[in-house]
């Protein structure tokens, strides 16, 4: 009996040790980062140079000798080569002056940096990169437009996510945005010829002009990216929603941009921001920047960034409204509540499209535009498909991720009741505020917040 008891005790101890090891191994590599960028932008020469210092803190239980970084704009500009519009790392060193080696991957979207010494648990390290941006003609979201506007979204290095599956080094998808990043603090100092005015998703701390050069200083706290737009002809409009100042930067030389349309977009932004404040959680930033999409050689879409949205003014007015509602909703679903936009894009696109319907209902103009009926028709084009699929696995990205994703949430709301469902969404936003959510984590909060049997609905839409 003693031998058997010892045997059982040994097995129990072994199981406990293995359980502890298994739990800790999931968080073996975990990091936080803060960014400081010092840049010189010269639109006339079509270039920008900058020094970026990234402080990386190892919050995990393991050590590493390499770090991965994304430069997402190298995807948005069309993945060109370095001599034609690339954002390139010229040099890298650590805080001790050690010159670091790096490997450029995926046409500059991903950089693997080898450290001079291992970064151990609890330690922090500062890495400084010298970078050069050769700005191409605007194709989509990045470059110089035919009107002379400069759009530089996510031009900086961002520490890649490292979750229970390890480093996020998967190639970016053909469809969707494919971003996946942690909320972090950004400090930006940028110099530009004084003829240009900058729009940035950070809070402007100062602006000083000397010798024909204006120096802007920005601070962006808990954002998932840093964005800079430059234009000679910006018209500035302002609105207030809750505790947030909405700043509209618009270029009247761009096709479709009129004073009436500027005011319309700003009113839509203010209405939706106020409404989402009430039903989700309050927007945490002091400012939200709204600007028109510059017109490029290909197309320039409506787009969301963390604290800044772009709207395509050549769209019909109803589309401008729904697009504005959608991009403002992204300030909650992608910016505040993060997700892996490659693996589960419906968590930001489906949620934001669903929020458009809520906003239209709250506005009371449903007779003019049957939003839910149109979403239902489009979603039925992908009937039977699951919404929680990676970007490039959906048969039709728009129908599955946007339309069917929105109708999944609408079906859930109809099943449990709007008041209860919006309470669940508020809890979801609060719990994953500045964090990263998954389909599983959303469903967990949904099940905790309601007693209604929704198993059939979930089985219909979720894999």
Tell me: do 49 and 166 sit in the same domain. yes
Distance, in Å, from the CA atom of 340 to the CA atom of 70, rounded to the nearest integer, reads 14
Structure tokens at 336: 């505040």
- The predicted pLDDT at position 27 comes to 73
Residue 355 lies in a domain: yes
Tell whether 76 and 212 lie within a shared domain.
yes
Same domain membership, residue 387 and residue 314: no
Confidence band, pLDDT 50/70/90 cuts, at residue 369:
confident
Residue 400 burial (CB < 10 Å; 0-12/13-18/19+)? buried
Is 179 inside a domain boundary? yes
- H/E stretch holding 415 reads helix 405-416
In a domain, 72, yes or no: yes
Same structural domain, 457 and 363: yes
Tell me if 357 sits within 8 A of 325, measured CB to CB: no
Report the alpha-carbon angle 231-218-335, nearest 5: 90
Q: Count of alpha carbons within 13 Å of 384, Cβ hemisphere only?
A: 1
pLDDT in tens, 187-239: 999 999 999 999 999 999 999 999 999 999 999 999 999 999 999 999 999 99
Q: Final residue of a domain: which of 184, 200, 232? A: 232
Please tell me the distance from the alpha carbon of residue 156 to that of residue 89, in angstroms, as a whole number.
10
Q: For residue 9, is it within any domain?
A: no
340 inside domain: no
DSSP letter for 84, please: T
Looking at 197, 232, 267, the residue that finishes a domain is: 232
Residue 191 CA to residue 428 CA, distance in Å, equals 40
Looking at 232, 261, 288, which one is the last position of a domain? 232
CA 245, CA 288: separation in Å to the nearest integer? Answer: 6
Q: From CA 254, how far away is CA 23, in angstroms rounded?
A: 54
DSSP-derived secondary structure letter, 140:
S
- Residue 184 forms part of a structural domain: yes
Q: Within 10 A of 118 (CB to CB), how many other CB atoms are there?
A: 13
* Model confidence, pTM: 0.92
What's the CATH number where 353 sits? 1.10.390.10
- DSSP letters for 175-214: SS-------EEEEEEEEEETT-EEEESSEEEEEEEETTEE
37 lies in the same domain as 186: yes
User: Are 363 and 392 in the same domain?
Assistant: yes
Chain-wide mean pLDDT for the chain? Answer: 91
* Least confident stretch, 55-59, 233-237, 293-297, 398-402: 293-297
Same domain, 161 and 264: no
Residue pair 359/273 in contact (Cβ under 8 Å)? The answer is no
Q: What is the pLDDT of residues 278-298, one digit of tens each?
A: 999 999 999 999 999 988 776
Flag whether 152 is in a domain: yes
Q: Check residue 295 and report its DSSP letter.
A: P
Any idea of the CA torsion for 424, 426, 432, 436, to the nearest 10 degrees?
80
Question: Would you say residue 1 lies in a domain?
Answer: no
CA 403 centroid distance within chain: 20
Same domain for 367 and 292: no
Asked if the model's pLDDT at residue 78 lies above 70, the reply is no
Check whether residue 126 and residue 196 sit in a common domain: yes
Structural domain including 139 reads 30-232
The number of distinct structural domains making up the chain is 3
Instruction: For residue 173, give every residue at least 6 positions away whose Cβ sits within 8 Å of its Cβ, in sequence order, or none.
Output: 342, 390, 391, 392
458 closest CA partner among 432, 436, 439:
439
| Same-domain check for residues 299 and 320 | yes
When pLDDT is cut at 50, 70 and 90, the band that residue 66 belongs to is: very high
Q: Are 243 and 127 in the same domain?
A: no
pLDDT digits (tens, 9 = 90+) for 133-189: 989 888 878 999 988 899 999 999 999 999 988 999 999 999 999 999 999 999 999
Identify whether the C-beta of residue 251 lies closer than 8 Å to the C-beta of residue 231.
yes
CB atoms under 10 Å from CB of 272, counted, come to 26
Closest C-alpha to 329, from 369, 368, 299, 362: 362
- The token duo for 119 is 């970064």
Maximum distance among all alpha carbons in the chain? Answer: 90
CATH number (domain holding residue 221): 2.60.40.1730
Q: Is the pLDDT of residue 23 over 80?
A: no
Same domain, residue pair 269 and 322: yes
């Amino acid at each position: 009996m003693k031998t058997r008891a010892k045997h059982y005790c040994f097995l129990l101890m072994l199981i406990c040790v293995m359980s502890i090891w298994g739990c800790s191994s999931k968080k073996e590599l975990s990091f936080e980062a803060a960014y400081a960028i010092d840049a010189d932008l010269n639109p006339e020469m079509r270039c920008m140079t900058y020094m970026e210092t990234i402080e990386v803190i190892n919050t995990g239980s393991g050590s590493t000798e390499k770090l991965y970084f994304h430069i997402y704009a190298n995807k948005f500009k069309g993945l060109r080569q370095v001599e034609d519009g690339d954002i390139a790392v010229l040099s890298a060193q650590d805080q001790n002056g050690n010159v670091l080696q790096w490997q450029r991957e995926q046409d500059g979207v991903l950089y693997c940096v080898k450290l001079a010494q291992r970064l151990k648990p609890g330690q922090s390290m500062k890495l400084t990169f010298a970078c050069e941006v050769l700005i191409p003609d605007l194709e989509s979201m990045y470059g110089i437009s035919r009107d002379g506007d400069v759009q530089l979204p996510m031009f900086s290095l961002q520490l890649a996510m490292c979750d229970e599956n390890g480093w996020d080094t998967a190639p970016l998808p053909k469809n969707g945005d494919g971003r996946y990043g942690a909320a972090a603090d950004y400090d930006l100092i940028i110099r530009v010829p004084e003829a240009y005015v900058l729009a940035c998703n950070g809070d402007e701390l100062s602006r000083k002009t000397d010798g024909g050069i204006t120096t802007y200083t920005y601070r962006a706290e808990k954002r998932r990216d840093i964005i800079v737009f430059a234009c000679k002809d910006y018209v500035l409009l302002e609105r207030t929603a809750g505790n947030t100042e909405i700043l509209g930067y618009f270029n009247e030389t761009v096709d479709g941009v009129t004073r009436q349309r500027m005011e319309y977009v700003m009113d839509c932004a203010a209405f939706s921001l106020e409404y989402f404040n009430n039903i989700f959680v309050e927007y945490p930033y002091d400012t939200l920047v709204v600007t028109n999409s510059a017109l490029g050689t290909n197309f320039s879409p409506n787009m969301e960034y963390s604290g800044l949205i772009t709207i395509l003014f050549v769209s019909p007015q109803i589309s401008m409204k729904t697009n504005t509602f959608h991009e403002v909703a992204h300030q909650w679903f992608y910016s505040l509540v993060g997700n892996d936009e490659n693996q589960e894009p419906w968590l930001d696109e489906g949620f934001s499209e669903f929020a458009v319907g809520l906003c239209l209902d709250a506005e009371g103009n449903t007779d003019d535009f049957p939003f839910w009926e149109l979403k239902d028709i489009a979603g039925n084009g992908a009937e039977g498909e699951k919404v929680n699929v990676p970007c490039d696995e959906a048969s039709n990205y728009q129908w599955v991720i946007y339309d069917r994703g929105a109708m999944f949430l609408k079906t859930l709301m109809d099943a449990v009741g709007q008041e209860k469902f919006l309470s669940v969404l508020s809890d979801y936003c609060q719990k994953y505020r500045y964090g990263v959510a998954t389909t599983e984590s959303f469903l967990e909060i949904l099940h905790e917040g309601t007693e209604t049997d929704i198993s059939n609905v979930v089985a219909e839409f979720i894999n």
